[in-house]
Structure 1
Amino acid sequence: MKYRSVAAILPSEPIEMGQTMIKQPLPTVRVERIDPFLLLHHFGPYEVTPPFDPLDVGPHPHRGFEPVTFLYQGELRHKDSRGNEGILGSGDVQWMTAGRGIIHSERASRDFLEQGGVLEGVQLWINLPRKDKMVQPDYQNIKSADIPTVEVDGAKVRIKVVAGHFNGTKGPAQTRTELMALQVSIARTGFVQIPLPPGHNAFVYIVNGKVQLNDNWSYDKEHLIQFRLDGEGIALRAEADSEVLLLSGLPIGEPVAQWGPYVMNTQTEIMEAMRDYQMGKMGFYTEY
């Protein structure tokens, strides 16, 4: 396999979100987006001490893209203006299509706040093409038990196929663009080669641990490595027990206009989104 070369190495930068510090490797001054991926936030690991919720993201709107949450530790409660409510547990994935508009909140669940523990996850924003920006919102609460796992290198490597295909296994996430999302757990010395779909932009984010990439340089946790479109795939070898999130997607190639929680094609559409939210056209959120 001819390996893809590295286009950019993006360390996570700490940013404030409310009263909480999170880590953001994308976007940065160097790389605005990796089409169709717009943003990656790594929250935690936080030690949750009852009754304080370190995340507590209250009701807020979205339009024009898909916010996706990979929860690695802890428990989150999702609630939205379309009547969806769900508990996201360790290993679960929440795939939400904001479409024409939705208001939602993400907070530690009540049980988790009472018991305490560690909370950690990754949220990814995925763009939608123009034709899908105003579709009806959708919510997928994908349980860990429903995500197929492929074992490689004598089970030293365990790959959860969330979206797309890997090694003949299809992920359960329903996507509106051509995507692959893999959660790769690699025990120390484990090795895997991962083919990437032709034409897909791709990157890996090292959630924790340390991995050697393509039998070359090694990278520590909390780094995002973006690849060029010049090879068939990548190789990962763990120098410590590691968790790696691999994303690839067919680029949309359309203009992007973004303001806060809205991602559209033009500034006029952004203004329309702001107006529609104020007029209650994205639904009504009630806490209980």
Structure 2
Amino acid sequence: MSNIKLIIEERPANIGNFMVGRLLPFREKRMVGPFSFIDHMGPAAMSDHENLDVPPHPHIGLSTLTFLFEGEITHKDSLGSDIVIKPGQVNWMTSGSGIVHSERTPEYLRHTDKMLHGLQIWVALPKALEQMEPEFCHVEEADIPNWTQNGVHFKLIAGEAFGYKSPVPVYSPLYLLELKSTKREKVNIGDYLFGESALYILEGVIESDGHIFEPRQILIANDAKLCEFTMHENTTVYIFGGEPFPEERFIYWNFVASDRELIEKAKIKWLEQTFKPVPGETDFVPLPNQNPYLKK
């Protein structure tokens, strides 16, 4: 019997002036553990007059994780954070009761040719912490645990697994792992995983239960304890998951909550522009007329 419960194909989505590949949420699988949203950005080649410009927009009830493969993004938020995200670093912003942030091409790259490629991920907060005070954490690449096991290079971007713990301050049991192979290797890591689990293929090929899988697909496992597959040479995959919450999570635009009333309050607050602003920013993303994440 196959351990693959569901295969999700990357779907195009527009986040303003930038196209991304949406992986979660999906109509048949809204979340994997606490992971509620994943966008694959790029790879996008931008000329000297093209830039990423996502104006200030709000979040509640979640942590955002930005992990870049190529390019740089300036992150600014309503806590006063102002930092450039570079490849291999982890940007972790916890919205809690509410935070506002913008994402733009850094000033020093705005008139140059550049690339942008990475993952943007939302991790829902447990119910007891949905209204916590917002926080921000930036982790350098050198501080992220990494090791080699049976010829495969591992990196623990967030959470706990394999006896390692990432310095990213997560709020529920989860894991986000990067696995890279240079040659064909069999991987059997089910003993190290827990909860719900999924695998995203960034590049290369994997084999599982006699089937071949290629990039831009998420494979949802029936049982994380049976996580076994073969990586072909020069393959990169991301394994993510953790303990699911007992309550359903509702998603409207950039808001995640276990109670629809929290979302309604956040909508009104954004319409009235009473969220704490991002210092130095004057424009903003308007509230959409409909929920873009309820589409296929």
Output the CA distance in 2 between the equivalents of 1:271 and 1:30. Answer: 25
For 1:170, the equivalent position in structure 2 comes to: 165
Work out whether residues 78 and 100 of structure 2, in 8 Å CA contact, stay in contact via their aligned partners in 1.
yes
1:32 aligned to 2:30?
yes
Shift of 1:78: 0.4
Return closer, same or farther for 1:29/1:239 CA change in 2, 3 Å cut-off. Answer: same
1:65 partner letter: L
AA at the equivalent of 2:206: V
Deviation at 1:173, TM superposition (A): 1.1
Structure 1 residues 205 and 275, CA gap change in structure 2 (3 angstroms): same
CA distance in 2, matches of 1:235, 1:222: 19
* 8 Å contact kept, 1:100–1:282: no
Give 1:255's aligned amino acid. Answer: E
Higher strand share: 1
CA contact 1:212–1:236 (8 Å) conserved in 2: yes
Classify 1:198/1:234 alpha carbon distance in 2 versus 1 (closer, same or farther; 3 Å).
Answer: closer
The answer as to whether partners of 1:4 and 1:233 remain within 8 angstroms in 2 is: no
Residue 76 (structure 1) aligned with residue 73 (structure 2) = yes
Whether contact under 8 Å (1:4, 1:234) holds in the other structure is no
C-alpha deviation, 1:203, in angstroms: 0.4
Give TM-score, length-normalised by structure 1. Answer: 0.90
- Other structure's SS at 2:157 match: strand
Corresponding letter in the other structure for 2:179: V
Find the aligned partners of 2:143 and 2:153 in 1 and give their Cα distance.
Answer: 15
Structure 1 residues 191 and 7 mapped into 2: Cα distance closer, same or farther (>3 Å)? same
CA displacement at 1:197 relative to structure 2: 5.3
Q: Give the letter aligned to residue 226 of structure 1.
A: I
Describe how 1:84-103 pairs up with structure 2 within 5 A: 84-103=81-100
User: In the alignment, what sits opposite 2:280?
Assistant: 287
Percent identity over the alignment?
27
Among residues 181, 187, 193, which one is paired with 2:182 in the alignment? 187
> For 1:246 and 1:255, how far apart are their aligned partners in 2?
23
Which segment is superposed worse, 111-120 or 128-137? 111-120
Decide whether the 8 Å contact of 2:201 with 2:238 is kept in 1: yes
1:142 and 2:130 correspond? no
1:4/1:232 contact within 8 Å kept: no
Conserved 8 A contact 1:69-1:121: yes
Task: Letter of the 2:45 partner, please give it.
Answer: E
Structure 1 residue 221: Cα displacement:
0.5
Deviates more, 1:100-109 or 1:254-263: 254-263
What do the CA deviations read for 1:109-154 (whole angstroms, capped 9, x no partner)?
2233344332101111111121111101111111111112111234
Query: Which letter does structure 2 place at the counterpart of 1:188?
Result: K
Q: Secondary structure at the match of 2:232?
A: strand
Normalized against structure 2, the TM-score is what?
0.88
Residue equivalent to 2:291: none
Provide the residue aligned with 1:228 in structure 2: 222
Structure 2 runs not aligned, ≥5 long: 282-296
Q: Residue 276 of structure 1: SS of its match in structure 2?
A: helix
- Give the distance between the partners of 1:31 and 1:200, measured in 2 at CA: 15
The within-5 A match list for 1:134-283 is 134-154=131-151, 157-195=152-190, 199-213=194-208, 216-229=210-223, 232-283=225-276
**How many corresponding residue pairs?**
281
